[in-house]
């Protein structure tokens, strides 16, 4: 319909990030739904509802559905109450859309106190608030209070309803969520997604988000930054701290012996003297800071602290810190054994991964390892690192975005993913 096409054109023109994700969803006109809904594969909409919105409002609702899918709300509900989950999911994403400059319909759900929170946390806060003000349900009412409330709790945002076991059904009764429902994801035959299928959804979604960020970057229009970070954070598991992973990997590569000259400190308090590990002194460690990520002073202080912790254990001959965006920013810092590592704010342009590798080669260095801090988003320049083979030394990519790949860095080295930018 004409109104939908107009909203889509505005999305295509102004919001490339959302456009890329929207394009992957099938759009179906359906007058059996109350407003609009998505199950992660398609968007179904009622034409009568579309006509009630201005074009800017319709654009907001379409992007709203896109973020439900990007944040994997269709597979993250579990056994949570359906309606309350939809409310929580709305609070989690509407603030992002407002920040992106989109116009939310008047009845939309937004509360600044929930900005930056995941749907799971918001859900628990809302649930706690409800339980603190409502009496416990009677035995014949069940958890939702009465049959009507139960039906409403299955209906989410007013389109279709799903019971707490995951089956999708038409909604009935008044709804507290105005529009843009997210349904539970299902297989092609309508059955609940298996764990294998959910993992595939996560992988495909992460890939699409990465592609969308690249398209947005090339277009020079940025409205999806918070959305992409929030979506990838939602997808990512809780990993082991990156510095522990890196330290363990580096330790395994260092020859060591045991000696009573270096007793195991964990047993000293008990009076036991147990021989500890004595590691051979390693060669140079090269750390590369991708300055295009615009890391703050505080973030750099945290990274420096982690590097010092690793250096204290690894005991390298020297530590070399390279700052790089599309080119190297100034001369590398060189820290001799025993010196405290401090980091500087430099650069801020685009990204090319090859300059640090080229510099190491020109200097004739054979480092024990090269550790590259990057958001994983980079352009391939004329002297791209892809043009040369896997270096002879270990390479570790510390990336803040939980994408399945980035700019070819999967071609060599080990990728260690950081859940957020707090390191």
- Look-up: residue for tokens 């603190």? 132
Tell me, what's the pLDDT at 221? Answer: 59
3-class SS string, the chain: CHHHHHHHHHHHHHCHHHHHHHHCCEEEECCCCCCEEECCCEEEECHHHHCCCCHHHHHHHHHHHHHHHHCCCCCCCCCCCHHHHHHHHHHHHHHHHHHCCCCCCCCCCCCHHHCCCCHHHHHHHHHHHHHHHCCCCCCCCCCCCCHHHHHHHCCCCCCEEECCCCCEEECCCCCCCCCCEECCCECCCCCECCHHHHHHHHHHHHHHHHHHHHHHHHHCCCCCHHHHHHHHHHHCCCCCCHHHHHHHHHHHCCCEEEECCCCCHHHHHHCCCCCEEEECCECCEEEEEEHHHCCCHHHHHHHHHHHHHHHHHHCECEEEEEEECCCECCCCEEEECCCCCCCCCCCCCCCCCHHHHHHHHHCCCCCCEEEEEECCCCCCCCCCHHHCCCCCCCEEEEECCCCCCCCCHHHCCEEEECCCCCC
Question: 205-209, 239-243, 280-284: which range is least confident on average?
Answer: 239-243
Domain residue extents for the chain: 2-235, 242-417
Question: Per-residue pLDDT averaged across 210-219, rounded?
Answer: 74
Longest dimension (CA), the chain: 81
- pLDDT value for 253: 65
> So what's the pLDDT on residue 259?
47
**Residue of higher predicted confidence among 347 and 227:** 347
User: What's the mean pLDDT in 103-130?
Assistant: 90
Q: Which residues contact 357 (CB under 8 A, 6 or more apart)?
A: 370, 385, 388, 391
Q: What integer pLDDT is reported at residue 411 of this predicted model?
A: 60
Euclidean distance between CA atoms 404 and 167, whole angstroms: 31
Out of 62-76, 147-161, 302-316, least confident range: 147-161
**227 backbone dihedrals φ, ψ, rounded to 5°:** -65, -45
Task: Please give the average per-residue pLDDT across 266-285, as a whole number.
Answer: 54
Indicate the fold that domain 242-417 takes in CATH.
Rossmann fold (3.40.50)
pLDDT at 233 over 50: yes
- Return the minimum-mean-pLDDT range out of 45-59, 114-128, 133-147, 199-213: 133-147
Which residues sit opposite 286 in a β-bridge? Answer: 320, 370
Percent of the chain with pLDDT over 90: 33
Whether the pLDDT of residue 31 is over 70: the answer is yes
Q: What is the pLDDT of residue 90?
A: 94
Look at residue 282 in the predicted model and tell me its pLDDT: 74
Task: Using the predicted structure, report yes or no on whether residue 245 has a pLDDT greater than 80.
Answer: no
pLDDT greater at residue 232 or residue 179? 179
Q: Is 264 a residue whose pLDDT tops 90?
A: no
User: Band of the pLDDT at 167, cuts 50, 70, 90?
Assistant: very low
The pLDDT, as a whole number, for residue 83 is 92
pLDDT greater at residue 273 or residue 183: 183
Residues in the chain: 423
- Report residue 57: phi and psi, to 5°: -70, -40
Q: How confident is the model at residue 231 (pLDDT cuts 50, 70, 90)?
A: low
Q: How far apart are the first and last CA of the chain?
A: 47
Buried b (16+ CB within 10 A) or exposed e, 401-423: bbbbebbebeeebbbbbbbebeb
- Share the mean pLDDT of the chain: 76
Predicted local confidence at residue 338, as pLDDT: 85
Q: List, edge to edge, every strand of the sheet that includes 36-38.
A: 26-29, 42-45, 36-38, 181-182
pLDDT tens digits, one per residue of 298-345: 778 888 998 998 888 888 889 999 998 888 889 999 999 889 999 988
pLDDT band at 102 (very low <50, low <70, confident <90, very high): very high
pLDDT bucket at 214, cuts 50 / 70 / 90: confident
More confident: 411 or 312: 312
Give the mean pLDDT of 162-177: 38
Residue 403, pLDDT above cutoff 60: no
Least confident of 119-128, 149-158, 255-264, 266-275: 149-158
* Burial of residue 334 (number of CB atoms within 10 Å: 0-12, 13-18, 19+): exposed
Q: What local confidence, expressed as pLDDT, does residue 152 receive?
A: 41
């Amino acid at each position: 319909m004409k109104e939908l096409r107009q909203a889509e054109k505005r999305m295509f023109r102004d919001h490339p990030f959302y456009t890329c994700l929207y394009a992957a969803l099938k759009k179906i006109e359906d007058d059996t739904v109350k407003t609009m809904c998505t199950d992660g594969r398609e968007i179904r909409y009622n034409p009568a509802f579309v006509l009630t919105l201005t074009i800017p409002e319709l654009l907001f609702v379409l992007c709203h559905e896109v973020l439900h899918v990007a944040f994997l709300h269709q597979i993250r509900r579990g056994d949570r109450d359906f309606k309350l989950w939809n409310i929580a999911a709305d609070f989690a994403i509407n603030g992002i859309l407002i920040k992106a400059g989109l116009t939310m319909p008047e009845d939309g759900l937004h509360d600044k106190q929930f900005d930056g929170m995941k749907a799971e946390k918001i859900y628990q806060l809302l649930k706690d608030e409800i339980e603190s003000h409502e009496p416990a349900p009677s035995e014949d009412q069940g958890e939702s209070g009465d049959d009507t409330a139960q039906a409403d709790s299955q209906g989410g945002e007013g389109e279709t309803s799903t019971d707490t076991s995951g089956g999708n059904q038409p909604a009935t009764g008044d709804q507290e969520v105005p529009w843009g429902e997210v349904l539970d994801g299902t297989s092609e035959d309508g059955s609940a997604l298996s764990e294998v299928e959910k993992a595939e959804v996560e992988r495909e979604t992460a890939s699409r988000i990465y592609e969308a960020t690249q398209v947005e970057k090339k277009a020079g229009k940025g409205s999806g930054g918070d959305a992409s970070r929030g979506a990838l954070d939602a997808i990512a598991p809780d990993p082991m701290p990156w510095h522990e992973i890196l330290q363990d990997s580096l330790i395994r590569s260092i020859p060591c012996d045991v000696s009573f000259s270096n007793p195991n400190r964990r047993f000293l308090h008990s009076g036991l003297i147990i021989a500890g590990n004595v590691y051979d002194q390693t060669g140079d460690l090269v750390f590369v800071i991708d300055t295009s990520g615009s890391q703050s002073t505080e973030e750099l202080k945290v990274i420096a602290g982690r590097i010092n912790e690793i250096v204290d254990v690894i005991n390298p001959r020297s530590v070399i810190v390279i700052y790089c965006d599309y080119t190297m920013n100034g001369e590398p810092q060189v820290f001799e054994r025993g010196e405290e590592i401090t980091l500087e704010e430099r650069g801020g342009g685009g990204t090319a991964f090859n300059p640090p590798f080229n510099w190491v080669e020109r200097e004739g260095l054979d480092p024990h390892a090269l550790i590259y801090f990057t958001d994983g988003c980079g352009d391939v320049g004329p002297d791209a690192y892809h043009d040369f083979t896997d270096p002879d030394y270990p390479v570790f990519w510390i990336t803040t975005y939980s994408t399945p790949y980035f700019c070819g860095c999967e071609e060599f080295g080990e990728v260690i993913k950081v859940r957020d930018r707090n390191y």
